[in-house]
Amino acid sequence: MHNILRSISYIFHPLLMPLLGVIFYFSKTPRYLPLPIIKAKLISIFILTIVLPVLLFYLLKSLKKVGSIYLVSTKERIIPLVLNSIIIILVLQRILPQNEIIELYYFFVGILLSTIACLILAILKFKASIHMIAVGGIFMFFIALSIHFSININGTIAMLFILTGAIATSRLYLKAHDNIELVIGFFIGLVPQLTMLNYWLQ
């Protein structure tokens, strides 16, 4: 059981969630987009939101600014969250400008707001669960896409619901967070995505 719960935290790491949201969008959108453009977007987002943060993490670790990939203390979180905010702004400006794919643009605006909220809480010495922030944002974005495109993804939503519970259980079992940190994390992820619906959901 210990290995399973630890694996859940690794497999569903927050860094993977933005790319997961983008892949899901491209798999469900009824709009025609040339395959080379889709591939270019996916590769660019993979590099910026996964490869670059991992490289920066190892740089920070070599400088003894962070101890582990889970960013155990609030102090360890500050620099990575600042860097991640900058990366997301770069994605918004260079990869997903507002006039191209409005749904993904506001998805990343929501991610940026969640990241900034998490950063502010870290500065205030509160450690919201980044895992729950990520899954909360994905959960709301998937529901919004199902409404926006009038598609039935009840099975996917049910799996996400189960996944949310599994991630929360994993984080509690590993003593990474308490209940309050998990709940607040989930809503930090969900609320910005819910707010962004005013700008793109029709």
Whether the pLDDT of residue 5 is over 90: the answer is no
Mean per-residue pLDDT, 176-188 = 90
Pick from 120, 129, 97: which is nearest to 17 by CA? 129
Residue 39 confidence (pLDDT): 96
Q: What is the band of 1 on the pLDDT scale with cuts at 50, 70, 90?
A: low
Mean pLDDT across the chain: 90
Mean per-residue pLDDT, 67-96 = 90
Mean pLDDT check: name the lowest of 6-15, 59-68, 87-96: 6-15
CA dihedral sign, ordered 46, 119, 81, 85: positive
Burial class from Cβ neighbours inside 10 Å (0-12, 13-18, 19+) for residue 30 reads exposed
Residues 77, 75: Cα–Cα separation, whole Å = 5
Residue with tokens 């599994």: 166
Give the number of other CB atoms < 10 A from CB of residue 45.
20
- φ/ψ of 38, rounded to 5, equals -60, -45
Distance, first Cα to last Cα, the chain: 44
Residue 2 confidence (pLDDT): 63
Residue 108 confidence (pLDDT): 97
In the chain, where the domains are located:
2-200
| One-letter amino acid of 170 | S
Percent of the chain with pLDDT over 90: 65
Query: pLDDT of 92-148, one tens digit each?
Result: 999 998 888 999 999 999 999 999 999 999 999 999 999 899 999 999 999 999 999
Whether the pLDDT of residue 10 is over 80: the answer is no
Angle between helices 179-200 and 130-148 (to 10 degrees): 30
Mean per-residue pLDDT, 174-201 = 90
Residue with tokens 């991630």: 167
